[in-house]
Amino acid sequence: MGTIDWDAVQTADQVQRGEISAAECVEAALSRIDNTNPTVHAFLHVDADRALARARFMDHNLTRETKANLPLAGVPVAIKDNMVTTDMPTTAGSKILEGFRSPYNATVVELLEQAGAIIVGKTNMDEFAMGSSTEHSAYGVTRNPWDLTRVPGGSSGGSAAAVAARMVPLALGSDTGGSIRLPASYCGVFGIKPTYGRVSRYGLIAYASSLDQIGPLARSVRDLSRTLHLIARHDAKDATSLDANTILEAPIPTALQSLRIGLPEEYFGEGIDVRVRTVIEKTLDRLRESGVDLIPISLPHTRYAIATYYLIAPAEASSNLSRYDGVRYGLRVVGDDLIHMYQNTRQEGFGPEVKRRILLGTHALSAGYYDAYYLKAQKVRTLIRQDFDNAFEKVDLIVTPTVADLPFKLGERDLDPLQMYLTDIFTVTTNLAGLPGLSQPIGLVDGLPVGLQWMGPPLAEDRVLSAASALEAILPSPEWPLSGGIQ
Amino acid sequence: MNLTEKEVRHVARLARLAISSVELSEATQALGRVLDYIDLLNELDTDAVPPTTHVEAIETVWRQDRVVPSLSPEEATANGPQVSSQMFVVPKILDGGEG
């Protein structure tokens, strides 16, 4: 066991107690990145010098008392490349932002660094977070550390792969339709999308503003709690940021039997890979054996969620992405006049999936189609929310598979957008309803990880984290991949 | 609902995308398939259902009208592809636009 095997809490504890220096932790992470990133390609950018300088500063200049007040002292952290950083490039996986250097830091970046975290780099992602496989990055694919011929999931695939391959114990991702939980499931790590509005999105490059939310990926539940405790704060710079109770620094020990846990029939029907189903059923049996009463419930509008999402998200994206026009930042491709400059810039700067979604969203919002598409989707969104309101009158939490299948092969779905879209069927619902959702690794089948999803009512992160922590305690410790045979 | 290449070309123009003819035919097919799938929503009678524009209960958020430090003009224009005297330079707007 070396430092790369520690979770963030253990790393910070050891640094705080002076058992190990922050520089040693960062050096170990950087060396692991050197060894594994060329094959996994989780990072788009690594700033070793800056990370080491900050770690050495912490080691040499901070007293033990000061470090004791830094909950992430010396913890190497990766940031998805759609959160802006002044000291590193930010591309959002797009050619249109190549060379962009933000004049300010995202709030989450500031909060993590204030807590002693050492940001080592920026992770790969589907361009503008549009995708479920990280294959839609303009800078190459990320490979699943469990099987390098398979996708890590997306869009936060770089962050999930970096945590799974033990390059870093902790990473931030963003989740618009499942982009934290899906890669967490495919890579066998923990990931949580908090309640909409929990974490400030100041400095998060917008995809679909009524759905986007930032959250952590890690190798333990307690790491998710500690990170959310630090970053789920009200921020005046984000008008959608909630002024709510703080998430507890550690999950409260909870007896699972005291919770009413619902199993929605719509998430256990046809279409689930039989191997995934076996692992999920085994975990549900363990819950039953420990005295949990699993209550059958129904979320009847689940089957409409993907259709709803693929109107709302592209519509919002088409508006958000209008800012990439070659005027103020990013790529500019010359044209005869302003309109042609816009068109040439966007044509060259955006990849095929981003263009598809811009076209779909523009169509859904265009004259004559708005009511039939966008307004219709917003109404169905209300029905999906009401499903959850009704369910949470009967149960405290809901449990589902995170995703219906195992990580698929690279290239398997990128020719069929609809097939790719359907990957998110179990995760988009919490985005549409604004609820917290957590994916937890529960075991392997054929050497590939399976994830279980917890969903809770708005602001019930503490309950979700406590339940996940209690389940974590009764399951065998998760395994971590060799990352393509690289020890 | 079937989508024609003409409609997609119109949408591409609205979205300021100069898509190629190959992309146009691919996009028409892909979008058609997605829109066919989205037709699923028409199973639902939503006449009496209010739309959800936002999941939060919060209303318009106000702040004090107070001057706080912000980016300098140099910082704000530092990423501009073409900048002159703290202004973004763009091709001429009048004459020659496609209208």
Say if A248 is an interface residue toward chain B (CB within 8 Å): no
Convert A183-217 into a string of H (helix), E (strand) and C (coil).
Answer: HHHHHCCEEEECCCCCCCCCCECCCCCCCCEEEEE
Break chain B into its structural domains and give their ranges: 1-44
Residue A5 has, within 13 A of its CA and on its CB side, a CA count of 9
Q: How confident is the prediction for chain B on average, in pLDDT?
A: 91
Say if A196 is an interface residue toward chain B (CB within 8 Å): yes
Residue in B3, B41, B54 nearest the CB of A377 = B41
More confident site: A125 or B93: A125
The residue type at A41: H
What's the pLDDT at A487? 45
What's the pLDDT at A270? 84
Say if B51 is an interface residue toward chain A (CB within 8 Å): yes
Mutation choice for A interface testing from B3, B28, B55 by most A CBs within 10 A: B55
List, for residues A194-220, the tens digit of each pLDDT value.
999 999 999 999 999 999 999 999 999
Say if A197 is an interface residue toward chain B (CB within 8 Å): yes
What's the pLDDT at B99? 45
What's the pLDDT at A486? 52
Separation between Cα atoms, residue A331 and residue A324, nearest integer Å: 8
In chain A, what residues touch B34 (CB-CB under 8 Å)? 310, 360, 417-418, 421
In the CATH scheme, what is the homologous superfamily, with its name and number, of domain B1-44? Glu-tRNAGln amidotransferase C subunit, N-terminal domain (1.10.20.60)
Q: How far is CA B5 from CA A362, B1, B12, in A?
A: 15, 13, 10
- Quick one: closest CA in A to B64, which residue? A236
Mark A265-282 as b/e (b = at least 16 C-beta within 10 Å): ebbbeeebeeebeebbee
Answer yes or no: do B18 and A332 touch at CB < 8 A: no
What's the pLDDT at B95? 66
pLDDT of B41 strictly over 50: yes
CATH number of A3-259+436-474: 3.90.1300.10
Which residues of A are part of the catalytic machinery?
80, 155, 179
Answer yes or no: do A303 and B40 touch at CB < 8 A: yes
Answer yes or no: do A339 and B16 touch at CB < 8 A: yes
Answer yes or no: do A375 and B51 touch at CB < 8 A: yes
Among A70, A53, A59, A76, residue whose Cα is nearest residue A6: A76
Break chain A into its structural domains and give their ranges: 3-259+436-474
Q: How far is CA A379 from CA A358, A434, A463, B48, B78, in A?
A: 22, 15, 29, 9, 43
Residue stretches of chain A with pLDDT short of 70: 1, 483-487
Q: For A46, which DSSP code?
A: E
Q: How confident is the model at residue B96 (pLDDT cuts 50, 70, 90)?
A: low
